[in-house]
Amino acid sequence: MLSDQQFQECLAELQHPKVHDWELFLESHGFKIYRRTMPNTALYEYKALGHYPDVPSDLLADVFTDLEYRKTWDKNMVGFKRLEHGVIHYTTKFPWPLSPREYFYELTVHEPKEGHFCVSSQTVGKTRAPDGTLQNLHSTNNYKSMVTLVPPMTSSSTGSGHKMFKLPPLNKSVRVEEYRQDVVMVPSEDGKGCYVWFGYFDDPKGHIPSSIVNWATKSGIPGFLKAIQDACLRRAAQNEASASGPVRDRPATPDSGIEA
């Protein structure tokens, strides 16, 4: 999840993008998508900067976090379960002949200022330092057993008050041990749309040829950006038809200390 400083940097980037060490990967649906290699890896991290002129920020945050609704618009979603301590088990399809991927992650949602949202997802058990070093948050050396859930804005070391989560046994899906996604959404000037900063990193595991990864990314990211926009517009139409606001409460998460 983003720190206060990182959140402020994302807000600033929506006005003045910092992309000098990023490669412009593609442009699609009003977004510029950049990538760069993670230090000491051959993996890419991505960020997208753009604008939805017809999707308010509160509607986008609502759809982003509604996994039940996501079943209706994300063709790659296999399913999800909410587990203890707020951990989410999520399974998604990968292009044939690759096996599905499963994720165990925590979702946090914060609204430090009305209409300003920060939605973050990160796999439990591992985190990557700025130098590219992968750090374990395990209580043992066996990732299949027990991991430490670190409270927001705290040290990554195990200590009192840290909850423990037992990972289920492996199934036919490939378990993704490292994934993070951060989305910052702020209202546009007319209040009808929103500006979006989107950051993403995923180590899909397996020996996947770079050509397949590039192909999947070039089609997957634009497809997702368009699909969630369409899903928001359908949700808005449903809300208008029922003469109500958002149809559900967003997940409750601890206070992050983020200030807008």
CATH code, residues 4-151+159-241 = 3.30.530.20
- Entry pTM: 0.80
User: What are the residues facing 116 on neighbouring strands?
Assistant: 113
Give the pLDDT confidence of 136-184 residue by residue, as tens digits.
544 333 333 344 444 443 333 444 455 666 777 667 888 888 899 999 9
Please give the chain's pLDDT, 260 residues, in tens: 688 888 888 999 999 999 999 999 999 989 999 999 888 777 889 999 999 999 999 999 999 999 999 999 999 999 999 988 788 999 999 888 888 999 999 999 999 889 999 999 998 876 556 665 555 544 333 333 344 444 443 333 444 455 666 777 667 888 888 899 999 999 999 999 999 999 998 888 877 877 777 777 888 888 899 999 999 999 999 998 887 555 555 665 544 445 55
CA atoms within a 13 Å half-sphere pointing along the CA-CB vector of 38: 22
pLDDT at 52: 97
104 has which bridge partners? 89
Whether omega before 130 lies within 30 degrees of 0, making that bond cis, reads: no
Largest CA distance in the chain: 53
Tokens of residue 197, six digits: 């900063």
What distance in Å separates the CA atoms of residue 232 and residue 76, rounded to the nearest whole number?
A: 18
Q: According to the model, what pLDDT value does residue 157 have?
A: 40
The Cα–Cα gap between 32 and 26 comes to 6
Q: What is the rounded CA–CA span in Å between residue 257 and residue 260? A: 10
pLDDT digit string, tens, across residues 93-117? 988 888 899 999 999 999 988 999 9
Rounded CA-CA distance 189/14 in Å is: 13
Q: In residues, how long is the chain?
A: 260
State the amino acid at position 47 in one-letter form: K
